[in-house]
Amino acid sequence: MDLGIAGKIAFVGASSRGLGRAAAEALAAEGADLVMCARGAESLGKAASAVRDTYGVRVVDVQADLAVPADVERALAAGRDELGNYDVLVTNIGGPPAGPFEAFSPEDWRAAVAQNLESVLNLTRGVLAPMKERGWGRIINITSIAVKEPIPNLMLSNSVRAAVTGFAKTLAGELAAHGITVNNVMPGYTRTDRIVELSEKNAALHGTTPDQELKRWSDQIPMGRVGEPPELGALVAFLASQQAGYITGASIPVDGGWLRALV
């Protein structure tokens, strides 16, 4: 299926590895030109070169911390200067630390809000006007299954990512008449560095090992395994497509059936 996004310009956050990298590769495979950003310059440069060489698309890589508003503005401007206005925005940034409520100070909460909510607001604000002028755009937020069913020991993520869901659902209604869709992708347990961190944290909490924690999660998933990043990337690419123009305000899990809710 031709998704109709060849030549479109996409910004993908935290795209040097993990879910962001998978989203960037899926878009590049469809011919979209990319702005890739991450905090680590070396890993970002290697990822951008690999995507450029593999898919033959234009790729601009910008070192940036999306929790810092000035970095958001700089990254968006750098990509816009080289490629043009954005058609697709994929908001993605690493999750906040794991832990219970009493483990976190007010400063920890402010940092989590800056990282996982304000980054989404600032990125969206930075791409919106040209999308509205053209009457076309795709905004896709990578959130978590935790917004649908809170995960123990993820107090910060459960709380702040839920705010992104409320924002996106409201924004989808505001932008629908402008031809802009706003959707969330909710990854479940997926084979990334984040799941390694969580398995280590939970092992320390439960007196187990990281491998035992990973097996426990796999046993809870009807498919009997954790997900792979390209499985999420494929959904991101479809939501960016011409064919997905009637899907907006949705939060779609990629979780192997882990969520038990009806809707």
Q: For position 194, what pLDDT does the model report? A: 81
110 part of a folded domain? yes
- Averaged pLDDT, 152-180: 97
Q: In this model, does residue 193 exceed pLDDT 90? A: no
- 259 within a domain of the structure (yes/no): no
Q: Are 149 and 261 in contact (CB under 8 A)?
A: yes
pLDDT, tens digit (0-9, with 9 covering 90-100), for 200-252: 888 888 899 988 988 988 999 999 999 999 999 999 999 999 999 999 999 99
Q: What is the mean pLDDT of the chain?
A: 96
| Pair (172, 201) in one structural domain | no
Q: What is the pLDDT of residue 17?
A: 95
- Whether 65 maps to a domain, the answer reads yes
Give tens-digit pLDDT for 51-84: 999 999 999 999 999 999 999 999 999 999 999 9
pLDDT of residue 119: 98
Answer whether residue 101 shows pLDDT above 90: yes
Closest CA to 131 of 72, 69, 174: 174
Mean local confidence (pLDDT), 153-173 = 97
222 and 175 housed in the same domain: no
Partners of residue 141 on adjacent β-strands:
91, 184
Asked if residue 43 and residue 18 are part of one domain, the reply reads yes
98 and 125 fall within a common domain:
yes
Q: Examine the domain organization and report whether 43 and 172 are in the same domain.
A: yes
- Alpha-carbon distance 9 to 96, whole Å? 29
- Whether 167 and 222 map to the same domain: the answer is no
Sorting pLDDT into bands at 50, 70 and 90, what band is 195? confident
Question: Which CATH number is 241's domain given?
Answer: 3.40.50.720
At 110, the pLDDT band (50, 70, 90 cuts) reads very high
Q: Is residue 254 part of a domain?
A: no
Predicted pLDDT of residue 262: 84
Tokens of 5: 């996004």
Statement to judge: residues 49 and 139 lie in one domain: yes
Counting residues of the chain whose pLDDT is more than 90, the rounded percentage is: 87
- Identify whether 1 is part of a domain: no
Model pTM above 0.85 = yes
pLDDT (0 to 100) of residue 202: 83
Within a domain: 103: yes
- Structural domain contains residue 2: no
The predicted structure's pLDDT at residue 41: 95
Q: Are residues 88 and 181 in the same domain?
A: yes
114/235 same-domain check = yes
DSSP collapsed to 3 states, the chain? CCCCCCCCEEEECCCCCHHHHHHHHHHHHCCCEEEEEECCHHHHHHHHHHHHHHHCCCEEEEECCCCCHHHHHHHHHHHHHHHCCCCEEEECCCCCCCECHHHCCHHHHHHHHHHHHHHHHHHHHHHHHHHHHHCCEEEEEECCHHHCCCCCCEHHHHHHHHHHHHHHHHHHHHHHHHCEEEEEEEECCECCHHHHHHHHHHHHHHCCCHHHHHHHHHHHCCCCCCECHHHHHHHHHHHCCCCCCCCCCCEEEECCCCCCCCC
> Both 210 and 239 in a single domain?
no
**Count of domains for the chain:** 2
Q: Is the pLDDT of residue 158 over 90?
A: yes
- Residue 257 falls inside a structural domain: no
* 183 and 195 housed in the same domain: no
Query: Cα(243)–Cα(229) distance, rounded to whole angstroms?
Result: 22
Write down the pLDDT at residue 155. 97
Range of the structural domain that residue 214 is part of? 190-226
pLDDT score at 251: 98
- Residues 49-60: tens digit of each pLDDT: 999 999 999 999
Residues 237, 217: one domain? no
User: Averaged over 87-94, what is the pLDDT?
Assistant: 96
Say which residue, 200 or 134, is predicted with more confidence. 134
